Amino acid sequence: MNPLPEEYSEVAAAAQLQRKREHLIGLLAPLGAPEPEVHASAPINFRQRAEFRVWHEGEETFYLMFGGPDSREQVRLREFPTASLRINALMTQLLQVLATLPVLKRKLWQVEFLDTLAGDSLVTLVYHRRLDEEWELAARQAARELGAMIVGRSRGQRVVLERDWVLESLEVEGRRLSYRQPEGSFTQPNAAVNQAMLGWATRACADSGGGDLLELYCGIGNFTVAVAGCFRQVLATEIGAAAISAARHNLAANGIENTVVARLSSAEAASAMARERPFRRLKDFDLDGFHPQTLLVDPPRAGLDPDTLALAANFPRIVYVSCNPQSLCRDLQALGPDFRITRTALFDQFPYTPHMECGVLLEKQASGD
């Protein structure tokens, strides 16, 4: 992680976002892409997730980040301007609590904060020791003082005091969507920009003609919940058990009944769609009655594997959300000239860093186009 920038301002954030925009346009121009929609972030207090090492020197305890060209460079923190106001408040309050409850401080080496726009917060305390009843009693007192959920972790141990998730509420295209976000599962760190991503994806899916959707890497159902209403039927796949459980809960909580979440890797989903072998995990799903015309993918930084690329090549429409423009461009080139990029977008999830999230809508060209 890079050291904190010296300046947080709309001017600095806008200048870097313009550089990102120009970089993305340069990457996608050879592929005939239109200029991207650009969705900026607030310049400060935009992160709903943050994690820090904890450092102890005598009686003093403080947060620590490592960054710069030399990864051993230490950056001491007592506040973190890019994190939400609530996380900043919790950072201060937690240090005060640790000073009064030393059992919580002993061999504590990392703290993770999870916050939501809905005002729900969770703090994970990670230790190099076993957590006992004395720790639990102190942690319950700390939870009351902080007004937040607390989860304790150590090697081979996970202690949940009340619950291990937070509730998020997002507004997307005039709808209020509810999400349960489990501790330890991936969630988009910039909730406001995530709303913009979900809105873009919903608009990209809105003219799909109401057919079926196959979604890979669905996670906790971030996109699934937002776009399911654009389709007749949705099959969403994921491999993480906690994420699958959260996705199913989120679909039910939002009254979505046309979607099935299955535990399948992207390669297994490709095999299932090709009818290469039956999957017991799909035994209650009518695969023969499922005719997806749209594919939605939000893969890890490595992009799509060869099996998934081969599957994608058969779809008339692909909504591709990427956290790595380089792997995205590689995959777009692999899909070849049969596809035309009709929409692009840049989402500034991480101001003050070179990282960018982007989205493209691909539509297969008719023969002779």
Burial of 264 (0-12, 13-18, 19+ CB in 10 A): buried
- Strands 357-364 and 49-57 turn out to be unpaired
Choose the catalytic residue: 183, 215, 238, 357: 357
Residues in the chain: 369
Mark whether 323 is an active-site residue: yes
Q: 325-334: buried (b, 16+ CB within 10 Å) or exposed (e) per residue?
A: bebbbebbee
Q: Between the CA of residue 149 and those of 112, 132, 137, 157, what are the distances in Å? A: 12, 18, 14, 17
Burial of 310 (0-12, 13-18, 19+ CB in 10 A): middle
Q: In angstroms, how far is CA 207 from the centroid of its own chain? A: 25
Choose the catalytic residue: 205, 218, 323, 329: 323
Mark whether 357 is an active-site residue: yes
Instruction: List CB contacts of 326: < 8 A, sequence separation 6 or more.
Output: 27
Q: Cite the active site residues.
A: 323, 357
